[in-house]
Chains A and B, each alone.
Chain A
Amino acid sequence: MTRFTLGGGAILRGTVVFASIASLVSAPARAEPPVDLSKWSPEYVRSIAGTAEFDTAKECGKVTPLDYKGRLTFWYQGVFEGDPDLLRQYYKDFFETFRKTYPNIQLEDQALTYNDLLDKFRTALLGNAAPMAVRLQILGGTEFASKGYLQPLKPEDVGWSTEDFWPGAMKAVTWDGVTYGIPTNNETMAFIWNADIFKRAGLDPNKAPATWDDVVKYSKQIHDKLGIAGYGLVARKNAGNTPYRFMPQLWGYGGGVFDEASANPTYKQIQLNSAASKRALQASYDMYVRDKSVPVSALTNQQADNQPLFLGGQLGMMISHPSDYNVMLDLQKKATGTDKEKAQTVIDNMRYGLIPTGPDGKRAVVFGGSNIHILKPEYVDGGKVDEPAAKALICFWTSPEWSLKMAYAGSNPGNLNGFKTKWMKERLDSIKFLDVTTSMLPYGIPFPALPQSPEIMNIIVPDMLQNALTGAMTVDQAADDAAKKVEDLMGGGGL
């Protein structure tokens, strides 16, 4: 039994928020987007699904002839342990289909996980041993573009239009006014809870916590009454999961690293130690230290560790990736004996809702995703880039069909036309809660488009959390220390 919890008010607010964000972050319009972003709502997404057909081979054949003979080396952020089996199958299908469509392109592809890709790619670049093309997490594009490693590449170069992609996503691949990549997928997370746990803890089983302060309260109530963890806090360093889960809280309270949550960010003023940011950090402190209502392992955990906790009925609620529902189904299939029944009970009691707001009603979520780029020849192993082969693959991946299929269970198509395909309709029917995670898109805030962002998000922000949660520093000290680190980093110094 599942229940969607989107009220008309929430959708309206989301639409208004999105409309204002989209209008501010988008480049001057050269053409109309293929979908009406101002009407964005679960109903609208359903209404456009299955209304258009696309022939990928035909479209990409216009960019690179299908009989083209060449060779391509390609690294990509692939599936990892927290992804559902369905996604693995689509990745397999993609490469098989590409090889069939372009039989004369010798493709040497290598999948790496989110946490490994940046390190390996940076090292390869130092030795001029990078691949010809790379698919990076949304954080990575600006860093490598600013350093001059990437070739200018815009959607028009592979047969699509800039307006076919989310404005916020295009911003993440733009540096100094030049576009250096194409978004493959974009997603926002939502909030997931176990209705049975809520009920047993004396909470309304069908109502998500409305605010982050409620999350703190609910988490304590669940822990005190049932002796299990309330909220799935994640604070590991060097793991993408941490900023994806803490930044919505930070922004919700009105804080930020800079002013990235504002309508027109300048990234000039550091706000990590503002009163609002400290309140957000205090909320995490209250849950972890004061109430002890979250997993103790939060400091070394990733989301993949919280999934089995949730499925085992040992965790009441957490920020959830769109793919978590399918992951739960996969885990349930692998369980045996009474564990299988328990897991099924949890799945039946899964509820999805919008991420809570801050005290002032501000709702925010990380606008996540990935981009695909072409390297400059001088940094590539062998010193040559086969551009037609690279463009063929990029056209394929960013097509309406494959940008949807490759994001089938865990994300949304980077190419907005993907929302119009029959596969979108199919997945809306088969994947529960997709409406909810998709409905968070209008609240999405991209990470600061700065080369320093990976260090800020993967190291400084988690360090701040760990310093406060372990008692190594007070909340104030941890926030001030983090702000100082960002200041040093932006000034080119610091350790």
Chain B
Amino acid sequence: MTIATGEAETPRRSGPARSGTARRVWEHRADYAYVTPAILVMLIVIAYPIYYTIDLSFYTTPPSLQLKDKIFVGFDNYKAILTSDVFWRVTVNTLIWTLASTILSFTLGFATALALHADFIGRGALRAILIIPWVISAVAASYIWKWIYHSDFGVIGAVLVELGIADRPPNFIDSVGTVLPSLIVVNIWREFPFAMIMMTAGLQTVPDQLLRAAQVDGASAWQRFWHVTFPHLRNVSTVTVLLLAVANFNSFIIPWIMTGGGPSNASHIWITHIYELAFGRQRWGVASAYSVLLFIILMTLGYFYVRALAGGEKKGRGA
């Protein structure tokens, strides 16, 4: 045992640990060579913009100056954002938008996947139809919904008035109280097929033997779902929810096209507000500070996403 210890220590003394690392790098030199181009591309298109955005967040850019003439202001942009009423209002909007869209899209998608899991005639066609909202262009969908919701001559309003249910068309997107829920409905309509596809794929991995065994043992439908099906779907559910959450945090097209963040900022979420600050108002510094905050939140979500994926893989290997 003593000899073994001495043998193990000898190379450490004669050559530093670096040589071990260097040796491992040398042994994997071909692997490093293969990934180098990808790493370079990522440095250019991802790392540099991130660095530049963080750098820019410490400067102010008045409308009369070019970006290269920006003025250093330290943390003033962060201070301005965090003390602004608009920021907190937009943050509340963003949280409502993200949580409601994610939870409801997932729930509806999961329910649809379960409903379509049973074998029946026309199931394939129904699945294909339900995927349409997801594959349709978000821009086209936004314009269509804008007309459906139109406060003066929208389709919903016309039907309700025609049926005598309402005296005048309801105000969906021109009211601060209803605009965000109305946009969330559109977002759920567009996103639930994604959750449906993910959960359908997950459902196909649930072993039939287990479900049959549970049935033979007298488990009810709910017990089979809760104790057999759902545990198998935990990882795919986590991944789906995280992907939806990240997509919703970054969702731009629907609110921007349908309302431009209005009326009165009631449908501004972080990403639309950042866009307006940067491209509409040229507050590149403030917009960058905003982006850095959003980046931190999304990276946190990303961490959980990767952990969920890694957990799933470990379990898979363990099984």
A-side residues, CB < 8 A to B, are 119, 122-123, 126, 143, 146-149, 229, 235-239, 295-300, 309, 314, 451-452, 455, 458-459, 462-463, 466-467, 469-473, 489, 492-493, 495
Contact = CB atoms under 8 A, between A and B. Distances in A.
B55 interface: no
B142 to A, nearest CB: 12
Given A298-B174, A452-B63, A470 B264 contact: yes
Contacts of B60: 492-493
B151 interface: yes
B267 to A, nearest CB: 10
Given A123-B279, A297-B152, A495-B283, A237 B262 contact: yes
A109 B126 CA distance: 46
A463 B281 contact: no
B63 A489 contact: yes
A299 B263 contact: yes
Given A238-B260, A458-B280, A495-B286, A314 B153 contact: yes
A495 B87 contact: yes
Interface stretch (B78-86, B110-118, B220-228): B78-86
Interface residues of B, number: 40
19 contacts: A146-B64, A149-B66, A229-B152, A296-B151, A296-B152, A299-B174, A300-B258, A300-B260, A309-B153, A314-B152, A455-B63, A459-B280, A463-B264, A469-B263, A471-B176, A472-B176, A472-B264, A492-B62, A495-B283
A296 B174 CA distance: 7
A179 B281 CA distance: 24
B81 A495 contact: yes
The 4 closest A-B pairs by CB, nearest first: A296-B151, A299-B263, A472-B264, A297-B151
Q: Is the interface of B mostly helix, strand, loop or mixed?
A: loop
Q: Which of A237, A298, A463 has the most CB of B within 10 A?
A: A237
B173 interface: yes
Contacts of B150: 297
B262 A466 contact: yes
B279 A122 contact: yes
Contacts of A239: 260
B175 interface: yes
Nearest to A469: B263
B262 A299 contact: yes
Contacts of B171: 296
Contact of B282 (A237, A295, A455, A470): A455
Contact of A470 (B175, B260, B277, B279): B175
A495 B279 contact: no
Nearest to A471: B176
Given A119-B279, A296-B174, A297-B150, A470 B65 contact: no
Q: Which of A235, A299, A489 has the most CB of B within 10 A?
A: A299
A41 B122 CA distance: 71
Contact of A237 (B66, B169, B258, B261): B261
A470 B266 contact: yes
Interface string B94-107: 00000000000000
B200 interface: no
Nearest to A147: B66
Interface in B263-297: 263-266, 276-277, 279-283, 286
Contacts of B151: 295-297, 300
Q: Which of B152, B171, B261, B283 has the most CB of A within 10 A?
A: B152
B103 to A, nearest CB: 27
B67 interface: yes
A492 to B, nearest CB: 4
A295 B174 CA distance: 10
B259 interface: yes
A463 B280 CA distance: 13
A148 B67 CA distance: 11
B90 to A, nearest CB: 10
Contacts of B277: 495
Contact of A451 (B63, B173, B279, B286): B63
Contact of B67 (A119, A126, A236, A298): A126
A119 B275 CA distance: 10
Contacts of A467: 264
Given A297-B174, A309-B153, A314-B152, A147 B264 contact: no
A495 B276 CA distance: 11
A381 to B, nearest CB: 17
A377 to B, nearest CB: 15
Contacts of B283: 495
Nearest to B85: A495
A236 B260 contact: yes
A97 to B, nearest CB: 34
A458 B185 CA distance: 28
A466 B263 contact: yes
Given A295-B151, A295-B152, A238 B63 contact: no
A85 to B, nearest CB: 21
A238 B256 CA distance: 11
B84 A495 contact: yes
B20 to A, nearest CB: 45
A495 B280 contact: no
Given A314-B152, A470-B263, A493-B80, 11 more contacts: A122-B282, A123-B279, A238-B280, A297-B151, A300-B146, A300-B262, A469-B263, A470-B266, A471-B176, A472-B264, A495-B81
Given A238-B280, A467-B264, A495-B84, A300 B152 contact: no
Given A237-B260, A296-B174, A147 B169 contact: no
Given A299-B262, A314-B153, A466-B262, A451 B80 contact: no
Contacts of A462: 262
A147 B65 contact: yes
Contacts of A238: 260, 276, 280
Contacts of B263: 235, 299-300, 466, 469-470
A136 to B, nearest CB: 15
B170 to A, nearest CB: 9
Nearest to B77: A495
B165 to A, nearest CB: 17
Nearest to B290: A495
A226 to B, nearest CB: 14
